[in-house]
Amino acid sequence: MADKERTISPLSTAPTSLLKGGVVRPNIGVSSVDDDDSGLGSFLHRAEARLLDLSVESQVADWVYDTYITPDSELLAARAFSRLIGSTAELAKESTSYPVENVSASDARKAKLLRLSLPLVAPSDPAEAEELSRHVTAMRGTFAKERFTPTGYPEPLPLEALSRIMSDSRDASLLENVWVGWHEVGRAIRPDFVRYVELANRGASELGFADTGSMWRSKYDMDPEAFSREVDRLWSEVEPLYRSLHAFVRRKLRDQYGDALVPERGPIPAHLLGNMWAQSWEGTFPLLGLPPGTPDVNLTSILTTRKYTPVEMVRTAERFFVSLGFGPLPDTFWQRSMLVRPRDRDVVCHASAWDVDFVEDLRLKMCIEITGEDFMTVHHELGHNYYQRAYARQPFLFRDSAHDGFHEAIGDTIALSVTPEYLHRIGLIDTVPEADGDIALLLRRALEKVAFLPFGLVVDKWRWDVFSGEIPESEYNTSWWEMRRRYQGVAPPVPRDNREFDPGAKYHVPANVPYMRYFLAHILQFQFHRALAREAGATGPLHRASIYGSEAAGRQLGAGLEMGASHEWPDALETITGERRMDSQGLLDYFAPLKRWLDEQNRDTPLGW
């Protein structure tokens, strides 16, 4: 998960003074309290202090719950969350009673952000608020506790182990068995989800939003409808690249699994793409038939051979940030983080980065496996932590990213600099492959990044329609598959109907984490990478550029991160890249050599589905 606090708790950071001395003293870094004590400025000052207090309480309760799931920790987490969403809704309503003439730009922005600070708003009825909180906590718990015993296996396995089977096995019937087995979790989540949609919409409409989806789309400094169009624009720009990749992979999967399983012109069965949700296809790389001898860097085998530990993976990622001029992580990070799945209890394993005291109590919660994928995820998570630390000096309501796509893009931007040259520099590989290894490198990256794009789009296109009522409850699952087919060109391995609830098998749905952020991040990270590589003085092709060791790039990135949410996102984008519009050209430039290669390979291959 992302920036933890912004996903279920409202806001990110709290001053240490609050925890240590109990003094409510929000950090007023940018704007100051209005001279007029009774005005909006003064109200915001009090609101920030209250939210900070409740946010820390909710964070602490969530941390205990996520790392030690019991009925007691569930109750405490649900209560703390309920207080937080209840107070946020009250304060947001109260804020509208203040005259807005003559308020500073900063206070006007805070008032706007207050209404948008949570992805969930409680209805004013306290019983309903509490009920909503219980449903969300219960969904998270159901997901976290799920296990499945694949046919022929001696014991029930958690999601990481099932995911490993999905990426490594070539046995289509085992893949189908694991896919179906895991997706059973949706059925258990469905009743909570139905009621959550209803109650969350009630809360959002009390705040003046059409529904929860419209509230989510309102957080991008533009009209919600304009935001939908912006997303569609970006997708239309990258769609041709996706279709080339899809056609190529489908043909290779036909060679592997046969015509009976993989159609020549239809959607690809979702269980054959190397990932439980077909959101990242890197697992299929060995099946793609690159000419023997093509140089390739397989991070999983490098890390395994070198006997890397989870702590070393995190240390390596930390050193990257330090090489850019950022400080090392605090000692408490190493003392308090959870880096591996504990053997003796249920935990929420989905990776997330926390700033529990909203200042410097940074933590990583992840069940790290020694794989290339998790190596990238560790960089992703530290990106959140370094962002949190960079905006910790902002006033409370600005302790957030410019928009949520920024939060998700930072660590990924750094991970794009994990190039063969970089791995060689840090001693992880002995020789750097020549340029004839570029296609393998780009193909691996595309299986991770380009394959993701339509999935990143679908999760919230579906949820937006669920929240608006466009998709009725009776069609939750069939509409999910219609959309996945339309955008991703994938199909379920077995027929699915509306008794199943397959969206519930994806973490962010039960956990109430908006998902469009990842689509945006997958565009933005290439835009950031292109700009920072330039700043670092890189001149060659983008996929070979690494900003490792460039303090100039670090300064430019850091200046954007420190702004937090204090300005509209185009200002932060300009600080980092010199550009004010989200631009897919960075991604298209990065993959241009691969696109040419794919089109060549696809000359006799049908495109589309």
> Nearest to ligand X8Z by Cβ — which residue?
2
Q: Three-state DSSP class for 239?
A: helix
- Cα separation, 46 vs 396, in Å, equals 11
Of the chain, the end-to-end C-alpha distance in Å amounts to: 32
Report the nearest approach of ligand X8Z to the CB of residue 49 (Å).
28
* Residue whose pair of structure tokens reads 């990135």 in the numeric block: 557
| Closest to 545 measured CA to CA, from 523, 528, 529, 557 | 529
- Cα separation, 323 vs 248, in Å, equals 38
Active-site entry in 135, 183, 246, 508: 508
Nearer to ligand X8Z, 123 or 411 (CB): 411
Nearer to Zn ion, 132 or 376 (CB): 376
Nearer to ligand X8Z, 380 or 529 (CB): 380
Q: How many residues bind ligand X8Z (CB under 6 A)?
A: 7
- 547 is in the binding site of which of Zn ion, ligand X8Z, none (Cβ under 5 to 8 A by kind)? none
- 377 is in the binding site of which of ligand X8Z, Zn ion, none (Cβ under 5 to 8 A by kind)? ligand X8Z
- 48 is in the binding site of which of ligand X8Z, Zn ion, none (Cβ under 5 to 8 A by kind)? none
Structure tokens at 378: 């560790």
Report the nearest approach of ligand X8Z to the CB of residue 379 (Å).
11
Structure tokens at 449: 């990044």
Contacting residue, 2, 111, 450, 511, with Zn ion by CB under 5 A: 2
Is 520 a binding residue for Zn ion by CB under 5 A? The answer is no
- HEC assignment per residue over 83-117: HHHHHHHHHHHHHCCCCCCCCCHHHHHHHHHHHHC
Report the nearest approach of ligand X8Z to the CB of residue 3 (Å).
7
Contacting residue, 137, 212, 377, 419, with ligand X8Z by CB under 6 A: 377
Identify the sign of the CA torsion 314, 317, 319, 322: negative
Structure tokens at 575: 């600080």
Q: Interaction with ligand X8Z in 378-407: which residues (CB under 6 A)?
A: 380
Structure tokens at 561: 């991160």
Q: Three-state DSSP class for 565?
A: coil
Is 253 a binding residue for Zn ion by CB under 5 A? The answer is no
Report the nearest approach of Zn ion to the CB of residue 412 (Å).
8
Nearer to ligand X8Z, 352 or 385 (CB): 352
- 351 is in the binding site of which of Zn ion, ligand X8Z, none (Cβ under 5 to 8 A by kind)? ligand X8Z
- How many residues are listed for the chain in this entry? 609
Report the nearest approach of ligand X8Z to the CB of residue 350 (Å).
6
Report the nearest approach of ligand X8Z to the CB of residue 361 (Å).
19
Report the nearest approach of ligand X8Z to the CB of residue 311 (Å).
19
DSSP-derived secondary structure letter, 361:
-
Report the nearest approach of ligand X8Z to the CB of residue 518 (Å).
4
Nearer to Zn ion, 2 or 199 (CB): 2
Is 518 a binding residue for ligand X8Z by CB under 6 A? The answer is yes
E strand or H helix at 480, and its extent?
helix 476-483
| Closest to 586 measured CA to CA, from 237, 230, 222, 239 | 237
Rounded to 5 degrees, what are φ and ψ at 68?
Answer: -165, 80
Pseudo-torsion of CA 543, 418, 559, 377, nearest 10°? 120
The verdict on whether 381 is a catalytic residue reads: yes
Nearer to ligand X8Z, 98 or 590 (CB): 590
Is 1 a binding residue for ligand X8Z by CB under 6 A? The answer is yes
Nearer to Zn ion, 209 or 220 (CB): 220
Stretch that binds Zn ion, among 1-9, 138-146, 331-339, 600-608 (CB under 5 A): 1-9
- Cα separation, 329 vs 88, in Å, equals 31
Question: Would you put residue 489 in left (φ > 0), alpha (ψ -120 to 50) or beta?
Answer: left
How many Cα neighbours within 13 Å face the side chain of 249?
33
Is 351 a binding residue for ligand X8Z by CB under 6 A? The answer is yes
The verdict on whether 508 is a catalytic residue reads: yes
Active-site entry in 318, 381, 448, 500: 381
Binding track, positions 468-507, relative to ligand X8Z; x by CB under 6 A: ----------------------------------------
| Closest to 73 measured CA to CA, from 344, 342, 346 | 346
Report the nearest approach of Zn ion to the CB of residue 513 (Å).
9
Q: Interaction with Zn ion in 45-64: which residues (CB under 5 A)?
A: none
DSSP-derived secondary structure letter, 352:
E
Stretch that binds Zn ion, among 232-240, 249-257, 405-413, 474-482 (CB under 5 A): 405-413
- Bridge partners, 363 (sequence order): 354
- 532 is in the binding site of which of Zn ion, ligand X8Z, none (Cβ under 5 to 8 A by kind)? none
- Cα separation, 373 vs 488, in Å, equals 21
Q: Three-state DSSP class for 269?
A: strand
The residues annotated as belonging to the active site are 381, 508
> Which residues bind to ligand X8Z, rule: CB under 6 A?
1-2, 351-352, 377, 380, 518
